[in-house]
C-alpha cells in the first residue's frame, strides 16, 4: 500500500510540474529512470567554461551579508559574476562553499554573469551541475535557479528551476529554422531534503535531468541550436517585477560544453 501511495504522489507531482513549466498547460511527462545514452558522463572530463566556488566573500566585501561584490569565474571563460539586488535583497554564506539566496520576505538578489559566446552550447552537448537545498518555507510556484536566456528569447535558453520544490530543466532553441524546446522534470519535491546534486545535460539529442541518483529523460527531441546574447543569472531572471526569485542554498555550480 505504501508503494502505491508513493507512486500516486509521484504521478500527481509530475502532472503539476508539467503545468508549471508550460505556463498552465500540460507538457509530456519525463520518463524517470530510463537508461541514459551512451557515454552519459563524458562532459565531466571537459573543463567547465563557467564555475563558481563560493568559499569566500565576493571581491571587495566582508561580513556575512552581501548586496554588492563579484565572484570570480574559475571556469575557462574567465570574468566574474556580480551581485545585483532590489529592495532588501542580499546574499549570505551558507556553510562550506555555499551561498544562501534570500528568503521569501527578503527582497530580490541574483548573480549576473555577462554574456560570453563560450556559454552558448549551440548544437553541442552540454551539462549544468549544481548542489541545491530548498526548505519548505522557500518553495514558490516560480523559482529559477540558473539560466541563460528567457522563456521567449530569440535563440533559445537553458535553465534549471525548482518550481514548487520540483527540479526541472528546460532548453529552447532553433531547429530547421523553427523554435523548439525540450523539458525534463523530476516527479518529487526536494524541499527539506538538504543539499541535493542536480545535473541538466544534453546527450546525443536527449535531455536528461539527474536528481541525486535518479535520472529523468525528456520525451522531447533535444537537438537544437541554443545561441543567445543574454547573461547567465543565478537565483532568478533578474531583479525586476516577476523575476522568479529562487530561495535556497546553492553550491557546486559548473557549466561545460562537449
- Domain boundaries, position 92: 2-32+42-257
For residue 170, the domain's CATH number is: 2.60.120.200
Return d(Cα 137, Cα 45) in angstroms, integer.
Answer: 37
Report if residue 232 sits inside a domain: yes
pLDDT of amino acid 62? 87
pLDDT of amino acid 38? 35
Question: Residues 82, 67, 152, 50: is their CA dihedral positive or negative?
Answer: positive
Can you list the residues of the chain whose pLDDT is less than 70? 1-45
Our count of domains for the chain comes to 1
Q: What is the pLDDT of residues 110-126, one digit of tens each?
A: 999 999 999 999 999 99
Return d(Cα 143, Cα 133) in angstroms, integer.
Answer: 13
Q: Work out whether strand 232-234 and strand 50-52 pair parallel, antiparallel, or are unpaired.
A: unpaired
pLDDT of amino acid 103? 82
pLDDT of amino acid 25? 33
> Model's pTM, two decimal places?
0.83
Report if residue 37 sits inside a domain: no
Element (H, E) at 157: strand 157-161
What value does the CA radius of gyration of the chain take, rounded to a whole number of Å? 17
Q: Which residues pair with 165 in a beta bridge?
A: none
pLDDT of amino acid 135? 93
Amino acid at each position: 500500500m505504501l508503494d502505491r501511495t508513493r507512486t500516486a504522489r509521484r504521478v500527481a507531482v509530475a502532472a503539476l510540474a508539467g503545468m508549471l513549466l508550460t505556463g498552465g498547460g500540460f507538457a509530456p511527462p519525463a520518463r524517470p529512470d530510463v537508461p541514459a545514452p551512451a557515454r552519459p558522463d563524458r562532459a565531466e572530463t571537459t573543463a567547465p567554461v563557467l564555475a563558481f566556488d563560493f568559499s569566500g566573500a565576493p571581491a571587495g566585501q566582508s561580513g556575512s551579508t552581501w548586496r554588492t561584490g563579484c565572484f570570480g569565474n574559475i571556469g575557462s571563460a574567465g570574468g566574474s559574476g556580480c551581485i545585483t539586488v532590489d529592495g532588501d535583497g542580499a546574499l549570505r554564506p551558507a556553510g562550506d562553499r555555499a551561498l544562501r539566496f534570500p528568503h521569501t520576505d527578503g527582497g530580490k538578489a541574483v548573480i549576473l554573469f555577462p554574456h560570453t559566446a563560450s556559454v552558448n552550447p549551440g548544437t553541442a552537448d552540454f551539462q549544468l551541475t549544481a548542489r541545491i537545498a530548498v526548505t519548505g518555507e522557500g518553495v514558490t510556484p516560480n523559482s529559477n535557479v540558473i539560466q541563460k536566456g528567457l522563456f521567449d528569447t530569440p535563440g533559445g535558453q537553458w535553465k534549471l528551476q525548482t518550481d514548487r520544490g520540483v527540479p526541472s530543466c528546460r532548453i529552447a532553441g532553433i531547429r530547421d529554422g523553427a523554435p523548439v524546446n525540450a523539458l525534463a522534470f523530476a516527479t518529487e519535491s526536494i524541499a527539506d531534503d538538504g543539499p541535493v546534486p542536480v545535473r541538466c545535460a544534453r546527450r546525443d539529442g536527449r535531455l536528461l535531468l539527474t536528481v541525486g541518483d535518479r535520472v529523468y529523460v525528456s520525451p522531447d527531441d533535444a537537438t537544437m541550436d541554443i545561441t543567445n546574447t543574454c547573461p547567465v543569472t543565478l537565483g532568478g531572471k533578474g531583479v525586476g517585477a516577476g523575476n522568479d526569485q529562487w530561495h535556497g542554498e546553492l553550491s557546486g555550480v559548473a557549466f561545460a560544453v562537449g
